[in-house]
Structure 1
Amino acid sequence: MSSLDAREIPVDPVSAQRLEAIGLAYRLIDTEDSTAADAFLRAETRGFLDPEPNDELLEFERATISARRNTGVFPAGAGRTDLPVATVNSWVTPLTVPGGEIDMWAISAVTVSGTHRRMGIARAMLEGELRAAAAAGVPVAGLTASEATLYERYGFAVAVPVMRVRVKTRRAGWGGSATAGRIEYLERPRLASDLGAIHERARLQRGGQIAGWPARWERMAGLAPNDTKASSVRGVRYIDEDGTTRGVLAYTLAEAGQSEGIELSVRHLTAETPDALRALWRFAVQHDLVTIVTAELRPVDDPLPLLVADQRGVEQTVHDHGWLRILDVPAVLSARTFATDVDVVVTVTDPLDLAAGTWRLKAVAGERASVEAAPEAAADITLGIAELSAAILGGVALTRLADAGRVHGDASHIDALSGALRAERMPHLAIWF
């Protein structure tokens, strides 16, 4: 993958000019200056309505943001100790796509102070991020959203839906097959390192996953300074017959409420083999005294409902999670393999004019496509950049988007491209960022 360091990319001049016109400065944060870094982190914390961070937490978070491109919006004349009135950070990470990987411009920490709402700041920052990424040659941007209605206007779309599960263990029971390996408990430092190691190996199995970072796994393992549930975090791993760790589960136990018994809440479950996944789910569902098991951010085709004796004991709620925004259509289309043969001319529209055009896409089943500009060709399919972004990993069928009136063209060509974009496994994004 690319060695591009997002920290070397300057702020977008168009957004800088827009913000300057309303008396605001748009600049990168020097995270080597701990005072400036802490001001950024305090503003981010305020934006997400979290408690004021203490020195220990600020030190913990500085380690993460020091590897990212952090951008703040400041009142004109603000000094190094002043908090920005808006924040965003970004970095380049590998994104798994069917058959490979591609660079993604990850966007996080998007906040605007309550004192500066409705001034166009969020628009300037988000468009600035997209223009900066496109200018740097990064073909796709991605984010996870605390509010689901903000990002479609910028061409983002939900490409990775996920599932929330709630298991009533007494009703569900267990019906899965036995596994030959064993489960053993982990201390929290080893839990953090094993979560990262298994995630890095397993993430290549499904589109939508990105690389993690140390603080993410430390937080999952209960090692973050502000974690009020840290003392409740436990972890186990699955070791196969050859003695290799193949899966890890971090979880907490607490009273379920209303005399329902004990609830086991999955913090993170990652497995690189079916045996590991089955064994860890069995550990959770059959845990002594546990009557409720809950888990977030599961793939929508997780086999859990097929592993229990009574599927009605498993409640499943699908919701949005991973949002993508294509910035270079040929690069993204040619980075993945296709499920079936396809030969279509596609016209893509883009409200920001970053990725609009007409291309001929030709692919053979199991291989990558050739994508050639065809500005004079008649389109078989016409769709917006958000619709193509939604469908690119196979998590949202192009035919479903067409049924919703969001993709237009000949039905046979839409069917063909929809089938070609299908993935063997549904995409998955196991973390927030």
Structure 2
Amino acid sequence: MSFADAPIDADSFARLDAGGLRLGLVDTSDRDAFAAWVQAEMRGFHAGALAEKYIDEQRQRIAYRRTTAVWDDSTTDAATPVATVSSWPTPLTLPGDTSVSGWAISSVTVAPTHQRRGIARALLEAELRTADSLGVPLAILTVSEATIYSRFGFSPTTMTADLEIDTRRASWTGPAASGRVQFISLEQLNEVGRDVAERARRAVPGEIELDDHLWGRLIGLLGDEKGESKNLRAVIYHDADGQPQGFALYRLKGDPADFSSHTATVEHLRTVTDDAYAGLWRYLLELPLVATVSAPLRTVDEPLVWQVSDPRAVRAVRRRDHLWARILDVTAALEARRYAAPGRIALDISDPLGFAHGRVLVSIDDSGTATVSPLDGSAPADAASLALSVNELGALYLGGVSARTLVRAGRITELRAGSADAVDAAFHSPVTPWLSSWF
């Protein structure tokens, strides 16, 4: 049995069935069934109907995912789902150059006609129980609405910033790159860029592996209904040995009143080395006739700020949560990552859904490897000790949120003084967690 055809969760099925609704898997080999699901997803995100060729394009690349829907057989269009969700396991990078399998949840929609009937709860709880039954240690998602998912145990684990850079003030003061930047077609980038993206992914906690669909959309070769890819420019950075170490995708938009004041929007920039990072950012900041470089979805710890003559020329116009995580198997999740300091940490975890509920002792050795064991009785005398919910555990997991901050916010209780500092020392990630794409 593959993850895609694992049985539908019996509890959620029964709950929805009692309300006259039907929860089931979509047969993605049936084009009509898949088309109805895709159109329902588009409607759920207030998008227009997809043209037939784009339905086939999606089916070719995401049919492998677990595709779930809810139908209301009493409606006039009973073949079209009233709710959708899509999921698949994917490697998630962790601190310490390791990774763990994450249950990626996407395409969560409920039709406006069927709101407030418990459909979203049934769908999400079914996803969590399915992932748990398949042995996937945690679930992950990117969210359009931040108020929904905390009730299911999710919490933000990475933040992003949308940057706006005034190139007339941001003279380059960073290192000179040793390689060269060259234009490349989207088709050529499709051939060589994915390896670059994957190598970059392995170095940054919070990044996921891009499947064919996500990669194709990112580089403009899929889902381009409006023909916008014709305005997408791609450049690749080769190091001094001629090896590709980074790429950037950007668009240019002119100012009708001033041709010398174009805006370059960086749709995606990924680098494996600091040398490639410097080479590509310098290229973008020195584009002729460009007054502003806009870069959405960047890390909140961007080195660029320290590579220009005026740091205030690099402005974060928006900062927000991006990747949310929900731990299901505490032992597997915590043992998968590496830690920055040794020690012992007792965690009293509350989880209303039961997956992560309980008390554990995390023992971290000098190499940063953890062993997690059940804890009965009092915490060892030399252990830090905290009480927290599964939400806070997820926030701490990648090292991007401080335990001390969560204590001050009233979200974590120190059962022993100084425990938050011990947790921060161990959970710290030297690389700021970041997810550079949507899924």
TM-score category by the smaller chain? over 0.9
Give a deviation string over 1:204-245, Cα, whole Å, max 9, x none: 111111100223232232223314421100100000011100
Matched, 1:401 2:406: yes
Larger CA deviation: 254-263 vs 268-277: 254-263
Q: Kindly tell me: are residues 74 and 160 of structure 1, through their superposed partners in 2, closer, same or farther at Cα, counting changes over 3 Å?
A: same
Secondary structure at the aligned position of 1:205 is classed as coil
Aligned-partner Cα distance in 2 for 1:272–1:5: 33
Aligned-partner Cα distance in 2 for 1:308–1:318: 21
Larger CA deviation: 221-230 vs 14-23: 221-230
Matched with 2:386 is 381
**Equivalent of 1:120, from 102, 118, 121?**
118
Larger CA deviation: 221-230 vs 281-290: 221-230
Task: Using the TM superposition, give the Cα deviation of residue 258 of structure 1 relative to its aligned residue in structure 2, in angstroms.
Answer: 6.7
Aligned-partner Cα distance in 1 for 2:428–2:226: 39
Matched with 2:3 is 6
In structure 1, what residue type is equivalent to 2:292? Answer: I
Secondary structure at the aligned position of 2:177 is classed as coil
Aligned-partner Cα distance in 1 for 2:59–2:257: 41
Alignment of 1:25-424 (within 5 A): 25-76=22-73, 82-99=79-96, 100-224=98-222, 225-256=224-255, 259=258, 261-316=261-316, 317-378=318-379, 380-409=385-414, 410-424=416-430
Aligned-partner Cα distance in 2 for 1:21–1:256: 57
Aligned-partner Cα distance in 1 for 2:19–2:417: 48
Give a deviation string over 1:252-304, Cα, whole Å, max 9, x none: 11125775811111111110000001111111111111111111221111201
Q: Kindly tell me: are residues 258 and 336 of structure 1, through their superposed partners in 2, closer, same or farther at Cα, counting changes over 3 Å?
A: farther
TM value normalised by structure 2:
0.95
In structure 2, what residue type is equivalent to 1:217? Answer: W
Larger CA deviation: 209-218 vs 236-245: 209-218
Q: Kindly tell me: are residues 321 and 45 of structure 1, through their superposed partners in 2, closer, same or farther at Cα, counting changes over 3 Å?
A: same
In structure 1, what residue type is equivalent to 2:182? Answer: E
Q: Kindly tell me: are residues 342 and 394 of structure 1, through their superposed partners in 2, closer, same or farther at Cα, counting changes over 3 Å?
A: same
Aligned-partner Cα distance in 1 for 2:403–2:306: 27
Residue segments in structure 2 that go unaligned for 5+ positions in a row: none
Contact 1:345/1:377 (<8 A) preserved: no
In structure 2, what residue type is equivalent to 1:280? Answer: L
In structure 2, what residue type is equivalent to 1:402? Answer: V
In structure 2, what residue type is equivalent to 1:213? Answer: D
Give a deviation string over 1:63-83, Cα, whole Å, max 9, x none: 232010000000137899811
In structure 1, what residue type is equivalent to 2:300? Answer: V
Secondary structure at the aligned position of 1:91 is classed as strand
**Equivalent of 2:432, from 414, 417, 426?**
426
Q: Kindly tell me: are residues 42 and 185 of structure 1, through their superposed partners in 2, closer, same or farther at Cα, counting changes over 3 Å?
A: same
CA RMSD of aligned residues (A): 1.7
Contact 1:6/1:90 (<8 A) preserved: no
Q: Kindly tell me: are residues 283 and 242 of structure 1, through their superposed partners in 2, closer, same or farther at Cα, counting changes over 3 Å?
A: same
Contact 1:189/1:221 (<8 A) preserved: no
Give a deviation string over 1:365-409, Cα, whole Å, max 9, x none: 442101110133348210000000001100111111111000001
In structure 1, what residue type is equivalent to 2:253? Answer: A
Aligned-partner Cα distance in 1 for 2:31–2:85: 17
Secondary structure at the aligned position of 2:406 is classed as helix
Aligned-partner Cα distance in 1 for 2:134–2:409: 34
Secondary structure at the aligned position of 2:183 is classed as strand
Aligned-partner Cα distance in 2 for 1:107–1:412: 36
Aligned-partner Cα distance in 1 for 2:218–2:290: 21
Q: How many residues align?
A: 430
Task: Using the TM superposition, give the Cα deviation of residue 102 of structure 1 relative to its aligned residue in structure 2, in angstroms.
Answer: 0.6
Give a deviation string over 1:325-378, Cα, whole Å, max 9, x none: 000111111111110112121110002111101011110244210111013334
Aligned-partner Cα distance in 2 for 1:121–1:384: 25
In structure 2, what residue type is equivalent to 1:96? Answer: T
Residue segments in structure 1 that go unaligned for 5+ positions in a row: none
In structure 2, what residue type is equivalent to 1:233? Answer: L
